[in-house]
């Protein structure tokens, strides 16, 4: 009878011990799951924070590029305007005198040459070239203030150039003063990078690419929206609608930031008004720009979670062992 009571008591103790161990295991599992869920929420929050930071950085980069390009163009427009106004005062009698007087401006403002043409498109350049029947000369004469053209092939070199032009009078006759600058001069300003990656395009409000900082677009009439669709192989409705929204936004003089996804890779895009002509600066950056930062923070988060879980497990084991010793 006594032996039977001992067996029952022993079985009861084992059952209590089993129940206690099971409760401890369930407790540890619950804590593990809770820590895991909190870790995932934390990592997702960090990811959103990093993406928000990229949106802010790409916007700031674009604004800085716009400011720098705007200042450079404004300075050059102002000096061409001043040159034309100076000529209009009647201080010069020939093209040669004009060229000799403004040689310093050529160097200081990175102009390649000055050109003086009549209404038929005939004239000479400051470096000795003769120009005949310059195409679309009316484009320049119809402007009443200093005009900046889109980039075009130079008539005297193999370079792409932009032309500042202003109408003036020489010996009582209308002439056009042109100051040409290599388009590559502006490309240097557009070479700013987000975290060392990405790039910038200068486009007009029709999406025609004027300057490509990547140097990949060789066609002078390339459309940026079509180029994006081809380069990134964009065929899905969602991303096409985003590009169409940017196209509409640029036509309506808006600014914006968005991202497109293809082949599992996210690309961030910001478009910003230049404030000159109808030009826009479009800045792009892939999610590779944030990959390192995201991976680093994710690894730190995972390691921290593992440390917390190990600590909880060790404490649980310690409590269980201590409770067993007391019994």
76: Cβ contacts below 8 Å, ≥ 6 apart: 109, 110, 111, 164, 179, 181
> Domain 48-71+186-291: what homologous superfamily?
PAS domain (3.30.450.20)
Global confidence as pTM? 0.74
> Sign (positive/negative) of CA torsion 245, 251, 256, 257?
positive
259: Cβ contacts below 8 Å, ≥ 6 apart: 266, 267, 268, 269
In CATH terms, the fold of domain 79-185 is: Beta-Lactamase (3.30.450)
How far is Cα 65 from Cα 281, in angstroms, rounded to an integer? 8
Q: What is the mean pLDDT of residues 120-143?
A: 91
Report the chain's mean pLDDT, rounded to a whole number: 82
- Residue 56 pLDDT > 90, yes or no? no
From 189, 190, 179, select the one nearest 282 (Cα to Cα). 190
pLDDT tens for each residue of 276-298: 999 999 998 876 655 555 566 66
How far is Cα 78 from Cα 179, in angstroms, rounded to an integer? 12
pLDDT tens for each residue of 169-187: 998 899 999 999 998 888 8
Judge if 48-71+186-291 and 79-185 fold alike in CATH terms. Answer: yes
pLDDT tens for each residue of 218-264: 787 899 999 999 888 888 899 999 999 999 999 999 999 998 877 77
Confidence category of residue 61, pLDDT binned at 50, 70, 90: confident
In the chain, domain spans = 48-71+186-291, 79-185
């Amino acid at each position: 009878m006594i032996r039977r009571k001992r067996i029952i008591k022993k079985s009861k103790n084992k059952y209590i011990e089993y129940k206690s161990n099971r409760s401890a295991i369930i407790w540890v599992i619950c804590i593990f799951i809770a820590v895991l869920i909190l870790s995932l929420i934390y990592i997702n929050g960090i990811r959103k924070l990093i993406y928000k930071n990229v949106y802010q950085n790409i916007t700031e980069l674009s604004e800085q590029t716009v400011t720098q390009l705007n200042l450079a163009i404004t300075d050059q427009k102002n000096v061409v305007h001043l040159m034309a106004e100076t000529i209009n005062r009647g201080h010069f009698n020939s093209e040669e005198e004009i060229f000799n007087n403004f040689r310093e401006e050529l160097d200081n403002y990175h102009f390649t040459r000055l050109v003086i043409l009549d209404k038929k498109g005939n004239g000479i350049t400051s470096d000795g070239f003769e120009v005949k029947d310059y195409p679309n000369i009316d484009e320049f004469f119809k402007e009443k203030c200093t005009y900046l053209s889109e980039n075009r092939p130079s008539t005297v070199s193999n370079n792409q150039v932009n032309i500042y032009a202003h109408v003036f009078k020489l010996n009582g006759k209308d002439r056009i003063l042109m100051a040409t600058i290599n388009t590559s001069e502006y490309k240097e300003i557009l070479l700013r990078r987000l975290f060392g990656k990405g790039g910038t395009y200068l486009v007009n409000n029709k999406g025609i690419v004027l300057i490509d900082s990547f140097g990949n677009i060789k066609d002078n009439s390339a459309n940026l929206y079509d180029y994006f669709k081809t380069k990134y192989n964009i065929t899905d409705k969602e991303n096409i609608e985003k590009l169409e929204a940017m196209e509409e936004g640029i036509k309506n003089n808006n600014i914006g930031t968005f991202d497109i996804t293809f082949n599992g890779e996210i690309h961030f895009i910001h478009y910003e008004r230049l404030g000159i002509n109808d030009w826009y600066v479009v800045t792009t950056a892939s999610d590779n720009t944030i990959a390192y930062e995201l991976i680093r923070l994710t690894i730190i988060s995972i390691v921290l979670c593992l440390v917390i879980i190990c600590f909880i497990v060790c404490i649980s084991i310690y409590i269980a062992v201590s409770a067993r010793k007391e019994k």
